[in-house]
Chain A
Amino acid sequence: MARNHLTSSSAVCCWIPLFALRCEAARRPELGSRPSALVAPDDTRRVWQVSPLARHAGVKPGMTVSQAIGLCHTLLLCEADPVYYDEQFARLLSALGAVSPVIEAPELGRVFVGTDGLEGLYGGPERIADAIKCGVRSAECGISMQARSPRHSPENSAFRTPHSALRVGWGMGKFVSWVAATRAKPGGAVIVRPGEEGKFLAAQPLAVLPLDPDTHRRLRLLGLRTIGDLAALPEEAVVSQLGRAGRRLWRLAAGETAERVVGREAPEPITAAIAYFSPVAERELLAHALEQLIERALRHPRRAGWRVQVVRARAELEHGASWLAEATLKDPSADRDRIAAPLKTRLEQAPPTGAVERLAVEFTGFAPGTTELQLFARDARAAARAGRRRALRTAVHEIKLRLKRPMLYHVIAVQPWSRIPERRYALIDYEP
C-alpha cells in the first residue's frame, strides 16, 4: 500500500460554528436580526441549526418545528439548502488549500489544516494561524468582488461567512487543535504549545471529547466533570469501564496521543470518451455529448470527495485534425451543468473545424471536498437514487461474473432526427 505523505502531526483547526445557518444569513440579511432556524435536510419536521436569538428563546436543535414555533412565535424557519452550503464550504477548503496541502474536513464548518513544515514559510504557530485567517479573508474578499460583477448573482457567489465567525486553534494533533478552536473567541486563535497539552486540556469540560451521549452520561454519573478528572484515573480503570473506546478517550484526555491530520493527494486525471460510428458535426449533439461525458466522469470513483477545477474537452476530427477546449472553474464544482457551461460556450464561439470522430472530456485539476459533505448534500431523493444505483451495480457485477462479459446496455439518442434509421439510436455499455 502506498504511504500517504500528506500527513501532519501539528494541526490548525478552523471552525465556523453554525456554518449552514451563517451561509443562509449571508444571502438573506433579514435572518441576522430575527430569531431563525434551519429545518433539518433529512427530516423536515425537525429543527436543525438554531441562531443564538432563537436559542435564547428556548429553541434547541432536534426539536420539532411545532415545538420551536410554540416557544418562539417570531421564529423564521428556513428550508435547508445543503448543496449551497456544501459549495460554500468547498470554497473555504480551496482557500485553505493555498496555505497548506494537508487538509482534512471531518464535517461542515470544521477543517483541520496540517502545519508541519510551514514554520519556514510563515514563522511560529501565531503567524501560521494569522496566515490561515488571512487566506480565508482574502478568499472572501475575492468572491465578494466577483459578486459585484453582473455575471455572478449574489446568491451564487456569496462566500460571506464573516471571518469574525472563524475560530482557529493550533496544537499537536487534531484533538488538541479542535479543543483549542472551541476555546477561541470568534475571529481569534488559541495556541497550545507542545508540552502544554496536559495543562490546557485538564480544565476543559468532558463534552469536548468525542463521546456518545450514553458514555457522557455514565462519566458524569461517576462524578467526572473535566478532562483532567478523566486523565487522573488509571488508564486500565477507564478501559475496564468503557472498553477500547475508553482507552482512546483516556489517551486523548491525557494528551498521550496526537492524531495526525491526513490529507489526500489529488487524483489522477479522469477521462470519459465517446467514439462515433459516423462523424458528427452538429453542435447541439456535441453539446449534449459533452454533458453526458461530464456526467460519466463525475461518477468515476476517483472523483469522490473532489470537486473539478480544470476541465478539458478534446475532439478528434475527420481528416486527422483535432479540437481542444480547456476551462478553469473559478468555483470548483461537482455539478454537471456548471462544469459544462464554459465548454459549451467555447463550442459555440470556436467550434471544431470538421466533423468529430471521437470526443473526450478530461478532469485534470481538482479542489478538495469531502465524501461526508457529498453525503450530507444529498436529499432524500438523491439517497434513494444512490440506493438504486448500488443495487444495479451489484446486479451488473453478478451478470459479468456469470456471463463473463457485460450484457447490459443503455439506449442513447445519437441523431434521433436523422433520416437514416440506424443513425438515430445506439447502445453503450451500462455502467451504473
Chain B
Amino acid sequence: MRNRPDRLRALNVPQRVEVELDERGVPAFVKPKTGNGKRIESIGETWRIDDEWWRRPISRRHVEAILERGKRVVLFEDLMTAEWWMQMPT
C-alpha cells in the first residue's frame, strides 16, 4: 500500500514527543520516542490553531522552540488529547 504510485505521502508529518513543562507551563525539555531528550534553550512565538470543528475538531497550541545546539523546531500540544508533537518549522 505504501508504494502505490497514486498514494500521496504527507510532508512534515508531526512526530510524537514527550515534553516536560516548567512552572509557567512552558516546554523546558523535549524527548522524542526514539533518541535522547534535549533541553529547550529558548522559546519564540506561540500561537493556537482551532479548525475543522465540523469534521474532527483540531485544536493545537504551538510553541516555537530552540533546542540545545541551536536546532529550531515547532512543538504543539494537541488540546483534544493532551499529547505533544514536534514538527519542522515552515
Contacts and interface: CB of A to CB of B under 8 A. Distances in A.
Q: Do the two shown chains form a genuine complex with each other?
A: yes
Interface of A: 272-277, 405-406, 409, 411-412, 414, 419-429, 431
B10 interface: yes
Contacts, number: 59
Q: Nearest 9 CB-CB pairs, A to B?
A: A426-B8, A427-B9, A425-B11, A429-B5, A273-B6, A422-B10, A422-B13, A426-B10, A422-B12
B3 interface: yes
Given A272-B6, A274-B6, A406-B3, A420 B11 contact: no
Contacts of A276: 8
A429 B5 CA distance: 5
B90 A421 contact: yes
Which label, helix, strand, loop or mixed, suits the secondary structure of the B interface?
loop
Contacts of A277: 8, 10
Most buried by B among A411, A421, A427, A428: A421
A428 B51 contact: no
A420 B58 contact: yes
A425 B12 contact: yes
Contacts of B13: 422
Contacts of B14: 421-422
Contacts of A420: 49, 51, 58
Interface string B1-39: 001111111111110000000000000000000000000
Contacts of A272: 6
Nearest to B3: A405
B69 to A, nearest CB: 23
Interface size bracket, B side? 10 to 19
A424 B90 contact: yes
A419 B24 CA distance: 27
A402 to B, nearest CB: 16
B47 to A, nearest CB: 10
Contacts of B4: 275
12 contacts: A275-B4, A275-B6, A275-B7, A277-B10, A421-B87, A421-B88, A421-B90, A422-B14, A423-B10, A426-B11, A427-B10, A428-B5
Contacts of B8: 274-277, 412, 414, 426-428
A406 to B, nearest CB: 7
Nearest to B76: A421
Contacts of B51: 419-420
A422 B3 contact: no
Contacts of B90: 421, 424
Nearest to A355: B55
B11 A429 contact: no
A217 to B, nearest CB: 54
Contacts of A409: 9
B77 to A, nearest CB: 15
Contacts of B10: 277, 414, 422-423, 425-427
Interface in B25-78: 49, 51, 58, 74
A368 B8 CA distance: 34
A420 B56 CA distance: 13
A427 B13 CA distance: 11
